[in-house]
Structure 1
């Protein structure tokens, strides 16, 4: 399937949910790090698996990725993806000035960032639809994009071809940092969500 099966209204609803979640995430991150951080959602898309490599990112691109599973009625897998350069900026955003960074600290900072973002999205959805959604502990990987995305599919044999891509744009200290959050749903999850929302 591809996004042509969904109406502009359905995609607008998803973007509004993402904007609410993004606003909540930015507030939570700002409070945590004691710095002003803004987060926008410039685009949201629903693509087939193969379209991602054609339109979003080549398979052989090295990335930093954090995955989180979602358990509940609307289950699937969130995959946060960014470049190593942008990951370094995000780590600096999360850490106090002057802190000596180590791999362990960097991984912890990025994982906590993704935990906040995913939890904010799930909370926005849960409040709207009165759902109970639980997420797993974040797991960070540095590898080629194709290998990471393929593994996310293989983690559960029943994941759908549809992938929802939320473009995240963080603004911090005058710089814009881009990343993408992929939601790989189990079959029928997106249709079920639209039905419950009423669009």
Structure 2
């Protein structure tokens, strides 16, 4: 059974390329949503285990927002867009001025803005996969989960990743009006979907 833990070098390169293309398309989509020019540095794409990912995101106790998006259709899996307080604040301030004191206590309008952002960026990733593979890839409505990094990391573990297995983590650094803000996208596909993806790309499993 294939998983992120037993990918060969070619398969790893394919997943990194999917992450790179998805991040680039997400940047373009975010620029349209915010109505402003956005630059993005070359994204970093890595396959990391639970502990490594938690450390990579700033430590298990760091407070963030996880925007959970189900992947359905020809592929099954989950994306989790992980954003820090400053990222959330910068996105919200594009529409109206607000200083966020506690990332866990956003109001309905704040949450709506972030959900729309997650819907658009995750859609860009899904469209990238669909274009590359000619598969039907659908996404669900984002579910917002504020909490510690350790709590957010358990979201994909509950459904698509076994304890100890790795997930694909894409680091995105955007520049808006000379300010650098970063977020992370976690992509977890279940085993059969990984196999189907590689098969459509002509990569031997």
Q: Same fold (TM over 0.5)?
A: yes
Aligned partners of 1:43 and 1:167 also within 8 Å: yes
SS at match of 2:32: helix
Structural RMSD (CA): 2.6
Pair 1:132 & 2:136 matched? yes
Pair 1:25 & 2:29 matched? no
Aligned residues: 194
Structure 1 runs, 4 residues or longer, greater than 4 Å off: 1-4, 98-102
Q: Distance in 1 between matches of 2:64 and 2:14?
A: 29
Task: Measure how far apart 1:139 and its partner are.
Answer: 0.9
Partner residue in 2 for 1:190: 194
Partner residue in 2 for 1:67: 68
Task: Measure how far apart 1:191 and its partner are.
Answer: 4.0
Partner residue in 1 for 2:157: 153
Q: Distance in 2 between matches of 1:2 and 1:50?
A: 15
Partner residue in 1 for 2:49: 48
Q: Distance in 1 between matches of 2:42 and 2:11?
A: 16
Pair 1:168 & 2:169 matched? no
Matches within 5 A, 1:60-139: 60-93=61-94, 95=95, 103-139=107-143
**Which blocks of at least 5 consecutive residues in structure 2 are unaligned?**
101-105
Q: Distance in 2 between matches of 1:151 and 1:3?
A: 18
Task: Measure how far apart 1:100 and its partner are.
Answer: 9.6
Q: Distance in 2 between matches of 1:21 and 1:132?
A: 16
Q: Distance in 1 between matches of 2:155 and 2:22?
A: 26
